[in-house]
Chains A and B, each alone.
Chain A
């Protein structure tokens, strides 16, 4: 007891104000009974350190928390770990302790102490050196913090379920519109509901209040959106409708598409029904009435006790004859909304959240006035290109003039970054290469200066989008790679030595012996060890002409180059073959601009995707110099076969060379010199214009002309697998 008094006195005299010693006095005895005296006494120095390291107020909060924490953690070990965790934050992140303490009970409940500690460590690392960022993290004011919290809590989130959800949606509806995690609406406001519009489905990062059955709610939400997409009509025009009517029309439309979906797939009702939990009685507020109507329309056993709900159900039943017509929803919703508007119930459009939780926010149903922000535009473009690749996206999103207001992610996808010919930053000189002058028949040493440039800002979601554009192709390439699996051992017949007899050969030899001929002694069979030794340097021509569209309104050549290289990189990575990707363009002999997208040693990471998507077209094609440079890099790779794969869309040209033959002859010479050093060069010439020159440079067997440019992403990996078989 005396020890307590001494500790209390120390706190009181230390000048932390009255709150700290008072809290200690209240808390310490309870902690002492709940755990033990040591833990209670240990609180005093801890509070003291906190008061000095942060603020006395934080120390008081910490002390007040001690009782609930002691109850929650139960053991002295757990409690001291908790105290140690807080104390460990004083040094690296004093400002974050207060926000953390404010949420401590919730955090400990969801995470437990170990996971909490891991989450705190992650937060500290994430906000290293940035107090504001740390504070936002520990206030859960950052989407990342929330997401990590969910991950550490072991709860299913959008990210953990994404793959399954995609497959689920595709299985049910035969198509998969791009699926995204909805970005937070604003500071600290996570999206609450799923949403679709402009052909993109957005699901919230998490559904609050459905812990433990995240999977069910995500599936229900996605199935509901699928029903909208399968059975919905064109967007409704808002016209003269009031917000209340819009809400009711949406509600009826939800019920209508669900009805149609259940008619085809009755099992979907089991997915949706558990979320309709409203009681038939109670106050007739708008949200409650809405929820009741929604439930009454899907659940035939729901007792209807309100006349408005009854009217809705009756109208819905009467309209069964034209249930497939989306206008029905508008008709019913219009009348019901009007009725409700004449009663005195309140409807607050601003705070209205669609119920139950799995239903989407219905913004995709309405043609709202177009937004004027720039990201919408970019988004629009991206969707258009996806449509070209995916004809099954039949709901023609590009015709919708309006993009989703929430969808403002920086879509630096395929097209958004293309036109930026002048990169302000200067290149780094990395090499000088010779050039051949066919007029004098001599090679000028160190004639062309090679400068390396960093790729422009890329799209972190490149791989994801690639998967969406070319999902089928990726799967096919995967299968091809497995089939080609050169890692697989091969059976070698008719060997001079081996493990087993080759029966065919043995019989033949015996027959030969008997017939008096000399038998072939190679009668064994063996298994060849898997051997594969090939390195590829992919050289992409990104001169100005690659900025053109493949056909009017189609994707640009450069975006096909990106996709094709990515697919090839994917295939080669699976096979384990070393690959480098370099893009090149030239601006005179002083500036051969090379962009190293991937070097030989680099692993294939999202960064590779970002670099690929960051490539921008511009300048000319000094192909010979590029080949020499690429050859230099390739030469050092210790592989049996080294292949330089050039993808170009035009003849060699540059601003400082008027003679059209000069660069072609130089390129030819470059190819020959590579051959002489044991490297193969193969060229894929894009477009019909290509041909004559390329057969001259690369020889007739060394190039392939590809007229149908759209096929490039498909052709390149297939070609590679064929060539290296």
Chain B
């Protein structure tokens, strides 16, 4: 990659902190070394995006993140012709940029994208490593440093929105979950800048909320939410206030659930 690479803007200046919960760093590095595409699975707010940012910075690669949505078309990823003052010109999409210049392309929540979008990565993810630009009539061979990472939340949507078998089988997968209580407490304490003791209370509350997963809540409070609550406490809020603002209110509108969560918060302070 040349210094004037168009991917320069995508380089992370500093690696965000990552608290390893297992050997995920080694596993990912191994997959990156042989450029096998990786799928990150796990519930929302458990650190998938943070992990990939950390890895990209550690491995010193630019990171192109695309948040997939259901109206996303293949040309949103690959690129399209645009009309300029001098006629038409081709504009590379984020995926093509990463493929051409060698970066990590991270497709967040890939299942949200339409199925025709997901198949364009097929040729990239096997040993061909090519990206055909149909409209332009170009075949882009992947830069040796190009690496594809997708994230995937196998939650309730898995029945309706599932990856095709043929897509799934091209990937290695790392399964993420909320970390063990002690580690999660460390993370919350470090990220929010609160005492280990308070963080432990927040984590316990979070665990109680995860008990309600599938029983009125589609997800329990994520690590991210607990960190938010912790940061609010840094601003002087009490535990119940911070939890109400950062956790209970956003997570549900059901009065019964709110009452139960409030009671769980109450039980710890």
| B267 contacts A170, C-beta separation under 8 Å | no
Give chain A interface residues in 263-318, CB to chain B under 8 Å.
264-268, 270-271
Q: Which of A229-270 contact B (CB under 8 A)?
A: 264-268, 270
Q: Does A12 have its Cβ within 8 Å of any Cβ on chain B?
A: no
Could you tell me if B269 and A267 are in contact, using CB atoms closer than 8 angstroms? yes
Closest to B135 in A: A508
Contact B81 A514 (CB under 8 A): no
Return the contact of A514 from the options B80, B87, B216, B255 (Cβ within 8 A). B87
Complex interface residues of chain A between 468 and 490 (CB less than 8 A to chain B):
471-472, 475-476, 479-480, 483-484
Q: Number of B residues whose C-beta is below 8 Å from A?
A: 36
Q: Across the two chains, which residue of chain A brings its CB closest to B220? A: A171
Q: Does B157 contact A (CB under 8 A)?
A: yes
25 A–B pairs (Cβ distance < 8 Å), ordered by A: A164-B256, A164-B259, A166-B215, A167-B212, A168-B264, A170-B215, A171-B260, A172-B208, A176-B215, A266-B269, A267-B269, A268-B267, A270-B266, A472-B214, A475-B156, A475-B215, A475-B218, A479-B218, A483-B156, A504-B75, A510-B83, A514-B87, A721-B159, A721-B160, A722-B160
Known pairs A168-B259, A479-B156 / 15 extra A-B pairs, C-beta < 8 Å: A164-B255, A164-B256, A167-B259, A171-B208, A172-B263, A172-B264, A173-B211, A264-B204, A270-B266, A471-B214, A475-B214, A475-B215, A511-B81, A718-B159, A721-B159
- Which of A173, A174, A219, A475 touches B216 (beta carbons < 8 Å)? A475
Contact B80 A507 (CB under 8 A): yes
Residues of B near A167 (CB, < 8 A) are 212, 215-216, 256-257, 259-260
Query: Would A507 and B83 be within 8 Å (CB), given that A176-B215, A267-B266 are in contact?
Result: yes
Q: Given A173-B211, A267-B268, A480–B156 Cβ distance below 8 Å?
A: yes
| Cβ contacts B199-217/A at 8 Å (1 or 0 each) | 0000010001101101110
Find the A residue at minimum CB distance from B75: A504
Is B115 an interface residue when CB atoms closer than 8 A count as contact?
A: no
Q: Is B2 an interface residue (CB 8 A)?
A: no
B161 contacts chain A at the CB level, 8 A cutoff: yes
Query: In the complex, which residues of chain A have a beta carbon less than 8 angstroms from the beta carbon of B198?
Result: none
Q: Is B71 an interface residue (CB 8 A)?
A: yes
Interface residues of B in 45-95 (CB under 8 A from A): 71, 73, 75, 80-83, 87-88
Interface residues as binary, B227-265 with A (CB distance below 8 Å gives 1, 0 otherwise):
000000000000000000000000000011101110111
Are B81 and A507 neighbours in the complex by a CB distance under 8 Å?
Answer: yes
Q: Report A-chain residues with C-beta under 8 Å of the C-beta of B73.
A: 504
Q: Interface residues, chain A, CB within 8 Å of chain B?
A: 163-164, 166-168, 170-176, 219, 223, 264-268, 270-271, 471-472, 475-476, 479-480, 483-484, 491, 504, 507-508, 510-511, 514-515, 718, 721-722, 725
- Whether the pair B160, A725 counts as a contact (CB closer than 8 A) is yes
Tell me the B residues contacting A by CB distance below 8 Å: 71, 73, 75, 80-83, 87-88, 156-157, 159-161, 204, 208-209, 211-212, 214-216, 218, 255-257, 259-261, 263-269
Residues of A within 8 A of B267 (CB): 172, 223, 265-268, 271
Asked if A483 and B160 sit within 8 Å, CB to CB, the answer is yes
A479 to B161, CA, bound (A): 12
* Cα–Cα, bound, A283→B215 (Å): 49
- On whether the beta carbons of B256 and A170 are closer than 8 Å, the reply is no
Interchain nearest-CB distance for A47 vs B (Å): 49
B contact residues around A515 at 8 Å (CB) = 88
Q: Among A471, A475, A484, A718, which residue has the most Cβ atoms of chain B within 10 A?
A: A475
**Contact at B215–A471, with CB atoms within 8 Å?**
yes
The 8 closest A-B pairs by CB, nearest first: A167-B260, A472-B214, A265-B267, A174-B211, A479-B156, A267-B267, A164-B256, A163-B256
Of B160, B208, B209, B216, which one neighbours A484 at CB under 8 angstroms? B160
Name the A residues within 8 Å of B160 (CB-CB).
480, 483-484, 721-722, 725
Complex: A166 Cα to B211 Cα, angstroms = 12
Bound Cα distance from A252 to B100, whole angstroms = 73
Closest partner residue, chain A, to B218 (CB atom): A479
Point out the residues of chain A lying under 8 angstroms from B88, CB to CB: 511, 514-515
Q: Specify which chain B residues have a CB less than 8 angstroms from the CB of A267 in the assembled complex.
A: 265-269
Min Cβ gap B205→A in Å is 9
Contacts of A264 in B (CB 8 A): 204
Q: Shortest distance in angstroms between B109's beta carbon and chain A's nearest beta carbon?
A: 13
Give Cα A166 to B217, complex, Å: 13
- Complex-state Cα separation, A353 to B259, whole angstroms: 30
Which residues from B are CB-within-8-Å of A171?
A: 208-209, 211-212, 260-261, 263-264
Q: Give the interface centre of B71, B214, B218 by most chain A CB atoms within 10 Å.
A: B214
The interface residues of chain A lying within 8 Å CB-to-CB of B161 are 483
Residue of A nearest to B240 (CB): A267
Q: Which residues of the other chain, A, contact B256 by a CB distance below 8 angstroms?
A: 163-164, 166-167
- Closest B residue to A482 by beta carbon equals B156
Task: Indicate if the CB atoms of B75 and A480 lie closer than 8 Å.
Answer: no
With both chains docked as a complex, state the minimum distance between the C-beta of A124 and any C-beta of chain B, in angstroms. 34
A480/B215 in contact, CB under 8 A = no
With A167-B212, A171-B211, A171-B263 already in contact, the answer to whether A265 and B83 are too (CB < 8 A) is: no
Contacts of A510 in B (CB 8 A): 83
Residues of chain A within 8 A of B157, CB atoms compared: 479-480, 483
A175 to B204, CA, bound (A): 16
Looking at the assembled complex, report how far the CB atom of A526 sits from the nearest CB atom of chain B, in whole angstroms: 14
A219-B256 Cα distance, complex, nearest whole Å: 13
Residue of B nearest to A472 (CB): B214
Chain B residues, Cβ within 8 Å of A268 = 267
A270 to B262, CA, bound (A): 14
The answer to whether A219 touches B263 (Cβ under 8 A) is yes
Contact of B156 with A476 in the complex, beta carbons under 8 Å: yes
The interface centre, meaning the residue of A223, A265, A471 with most chain B CB atoms within 10 A of its CB, is A265
Alpha-carbon gap, A315 to B6, bound state (A): 76
Q: Which residues of B lie under 8 Å from residue A491 when comparing CB positions?
A: 71
Residue of chain B at shortest CB distance from A503: B80
Residue from B75, B212, B215, B259 whose CB has the most chain A CB atoms within 10 Å: B215
The closest CB in chain B to the CB of A223 belongs to B267
Give Cα A265 to B71, complex, Å.
Answer: 46
Chain B CB within 10 A, most for which of A168, A223, A484, A725: A168
Q: Tell me how far the C-beta of B146 lies from the nearest C-beta in chain A, rounded to whole angstroms.
A: 26
**Contact partners of A718 in chain B: CB under 8 A:** 159
Instruction: Give complex CA distance A163, B255 in Å.
Output: 9
The chain B residue with its CB closest to the CB of A215 is B259
- Complex: A110 Cα to B194 Cα, angstroms: 50
Would you give the shortest CB distance from A171 to chain B, in whole angstroms? 4
Contact partners of B204 in chain A: CB under 8 A = 264-265
C-alpha spacing A479/B217, complex, angstroms: 10
CB-CB under 8 A from A170, the residues of chain B are: 211-212, 215, 260
Bound form: Cα–Cα A166–B208 in Å: 13
Most A Cβ at <10 Å: residue of B71, B80, B159, B255: B159
Whole-angstrom distance between the Cβ of B68 and the nearest chain A Cβ: 15
Q: Which residues of A contact B208 (CB under 8 A)?
A: 171-172, 174
Chain A positions within 8 Å of B71 at CB level: 491
- Residue on A with the closest CB to B156? A479
CB closest chain-B residue, reference A261: B267
Task: Find out whether the CB atom of A507 lies under 8 angstroms from the CB atom of B259.
Answer: no
Residues of chain A with a CB closer than 8 A to B261's CB: 171
Chain B proximity of A574: nearest CB distance (Å): 14
Chain A positions within 8 Å of B257 at CB level: 167
Contacts of B82 in A (CB 8 A): 507
- Which chain A residue has the least Cβ–Cβ distance from B208? A171
Q: What's the minimum C-beta distance from A672 to chain B, rounded to whole angstroms?
A: 31
A175 to B216, CA, bound (A): 13
Chain A hits for B209, CB < 8 A: 171
CA distance A591 to B256 in the complex (A): 50
Q: What separation, in Å, do the CA atoms of A721 and B156 have in the docked complex?
A: 13
Minimum C-beta distance from B80 to chain A (A) = 7
- Chain A positions within 8 Å of B266 at CB level: 267, 270-271
Q: Of A168, A504, A722, which is within 8 A of B159 by CB?
A: A722
Q: How far is the CA of A219 from the CA of B259 in the complex (A)?
A: 11
Q: Which residues of A sit under 8 angstroms from B216, Cβ to Cβ?
A: 167, 475
User: Chain A contacts of B81 at CB under 8 A?
Assistant: 507-508, 511
